[in-house]
């Protein structure tokens, strides 16, 4: 009945759907309708593109990483520089799209959740730009480890609401945001920050993020005259990866690799590698892969990177895993830290800890490639927010 009722497909294979309290169902219908109307509206598209270009700084460069390429001596490596987008990560693409949509729907208040703070900052930025009140839910533990981003959100006029329930990280921030939305649904739009949540969010967020892959495609064809062999991106909820992969979905020679956070190591149980080590379940409005116990209770995730510290994953990634369209692998905290240091030294680019997981996988991928291959890594964000965390870890190692 869902598929007949929805204008857009609500599922990716068996994943996705709308598992939310009844109160929200009409709001999801309204959102889907407004989103479809906006897609068909040339003036909305032009406005969105205008702000992506003139405000967010798109297109972001596709950078030939000479130092990195030399480092491995195999395939040519390019970096898609989302770290150079306004606010320092790809999150601004989706935040601008959804805030413009919320304005169009006549909503007068915005809420969001955030893990690393990048999505919170992006949403607070878009809300400041368009003068809409904004509240951001953030886990207590994440507030601790991402203090710089908390301060940025406050500077931008957003209210940061600390979430002390459960694991005190992203999962519980989403729970609280959904509770707020159920309560204030008449006036409030919930800007979900990844390709997760009930339909139409996974589709809509993917579409807003697809600018990453569309630009990459155009740019790589312009410089290389051919498509890349591999696309590599980190996966927490999975929005940078999905926006990067999706415009290539019809190109079977382009292989997709999603890198999850293995935390302290998959075997320790302290990780956030949902697709690698999880199983199908229902959380936050969608059926997808989940970290859960035998009773169906959601397990806490763990990663040094707050943005990947999530026990769920976008349903379209679950579908890509099931169909084999993408391969999902993982990198540990330590591997990500090593990549963080290596990229800083070799390229003069300090990556976000999230993006460092994608870089970390190059150690395993590159030996399998030849100089004829092209590897593009989505450098989803910059590492300024993480230097404090990394400093602490390094000091700990030196002692």
Partner 1 sequence: MNMKGSVCIMNDHIMNTNENAGSRSRLQKKFSELRAHNRKGLIIYICAGDPDIRTTFNMAKAIAKAGADVIELGVPFSDPLADGPVIQAASTRALASGTNVKKILALVDSLRYEDDFPKIPLVLMTYLNPVYRYGLAEFVRDAAAAGVDGLIVPDLPAGEEESAELINAMSGPDIFMDLIPLVAPTSTDERIRAAADIARSFIYCVSLTGVTGARDSLPAGLEGFIGRVRSLTDKPVAVGFGISTPEHAREAARHADAVIVGSAIVKTIHDVTTSMGTGPAALASVRAVVEGFKNAITARPACSDS
Contact residues for partner 1 (CB under 8 A)? Answer: 1-2, 5, 17-27, 165-166, 171-172, 175, 178-179, 182-186, 281-285, 287, 290, 292, 294-298
For the beta carbon of residue 314, count every other beta carbon within 10 angstroms.
32
CB of residue 296 to partner 1, shortest distance in Å: 3
Active-site entry in 32, 113, 260, 335: 113
Measured distance CA(253)–CA(165) in Å, rounded: 45
Quick one: 217 or 287, whose CB is closer to partner 1?
287
- Smallest distance, partner 1 to C-beta of residue 179, A: 5
Closest to partner 1 by CB, 1 vs 397, is 1
CB 24 within 8 A of CB 180: no
Point out the catalytic residue in the list 91, 107, 171, 321: 91
**Do 166 and 188 meet the contact criterion of CB atoms below 8 Å apart?**
no
229 counts as catalytic: no
For residue 122, CA distances in Å to 102, 306, 308 come to 15, 16, 17
Nearer to partner 1, 8 or 182 (CB): 182
377/70 Cα distance (integer angstroms): 16
What CA–CA distance (Å, rounded) separates 4 from 9? 9
Choice among 330, 355, 380, 385 that is catalytic: 380
Smallest separation, CB 199 to partner 1 (Å): 10
Judge whether 244 and 377 are in contact, CB under 8 Å. no
DSSP 303: -
For the record, the structure tokens of 371 come out as: 């100089």
- Measure CA of the first residue to CA of the last residue in the chain; give whole Å: 60
Q: How far is the CB of 25 from partner 1 (least distance, A)?
A: 5
Which lies closer to partner 1 via its Cβ, residue 203 or residue 380? 203
Judged by CB, which is closer to partner 1: 113, or 335? 113
CA distances from 354 to 36, 58, 151, 222, 332 (A): 31, 21, 20, 28, 11
Min separation Cβ 322 and partner 1, Å: 16
Whether 335 is a known active-site residue: answer no
Active site residues: 91, 113, 380
């Amino acid at each position: 009945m869902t598929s007949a009722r929805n204008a857009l497909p609500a599922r990716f294979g068996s994943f996705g759907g709308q598992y939310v309290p009844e109160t929200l169902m009409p709001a999801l219908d309204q959102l889907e309708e407004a989103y479809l109307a906006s897609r068909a509206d040339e003036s909305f598209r032009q406005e969105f593109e205008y702000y992506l270009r003139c405000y967010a700084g798109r297109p972001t460069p596709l950078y030939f990483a000479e130092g990195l390429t030399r480092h491995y001596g195999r395939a040519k490596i390019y970096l898609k520089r989302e770290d150079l987008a306004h606010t320092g990560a790809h999150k601004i693409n989706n935040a601008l799209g959804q805030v413009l949509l919320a304005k169009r729907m006549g909503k007068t208040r915005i809420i969001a959740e955030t893990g690393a703070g990048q999505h919170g900052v992006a949403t607070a930025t878009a809300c400041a730009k368009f003068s809409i009140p904004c509240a951001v839910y953030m886990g207590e533990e994440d507030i601790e480890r991402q203090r710089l981003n908390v301060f940025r959100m406050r500077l931008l006029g957003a209210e940061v609401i600390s979430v002390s329930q459960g694991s005190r990280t992203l999962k519980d921030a989403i729970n609280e945001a959904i509770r707020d939305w159920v309560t204030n649904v008449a006036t409030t739009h919930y800007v979900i920050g990844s390709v997760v949540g009930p339909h139409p969010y996974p589709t809509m967020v993917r579409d807003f993020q697809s600018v990453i892959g569309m630009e990459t495609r155009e740019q790589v064809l312009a410089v290389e005259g051919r498509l890349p062999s591999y696309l590599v991106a980190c996966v927490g909820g999975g929005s940078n990866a999905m926006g990067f992969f999706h415009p290539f979905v019809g190109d079977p020679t382009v292989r997709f690799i999603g890198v999850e956070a293995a935390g302290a190591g998959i075997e320790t149980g302290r990780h956030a590698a949902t697709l690698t080590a999880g199983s199908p379940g229902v959380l936050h409005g969608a059926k997808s892969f989940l970290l859960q116990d035998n009773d169906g209770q959601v397990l806490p995730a763990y990663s040094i990177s707050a943005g990947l510290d999530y026990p769920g994953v976008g349903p379209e990634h679950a579908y890509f895993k099931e169909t084999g369209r993408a391969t999902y692998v993982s990198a540990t905290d330590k591997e990500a830290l090593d990549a963080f240091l290596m990229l800083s030294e070799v390229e003069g680019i300090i990556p976000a800890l999230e993006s460092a997981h994608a870089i970390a996988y190059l150690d395993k991928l590159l030996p399998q490639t030849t100089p004829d291959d092209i590897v593009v890594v989505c450098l989803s964000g910059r590492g300024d927010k993480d230097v404090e965390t990394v400093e602490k870890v390094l000091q700990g190692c030196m002692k």
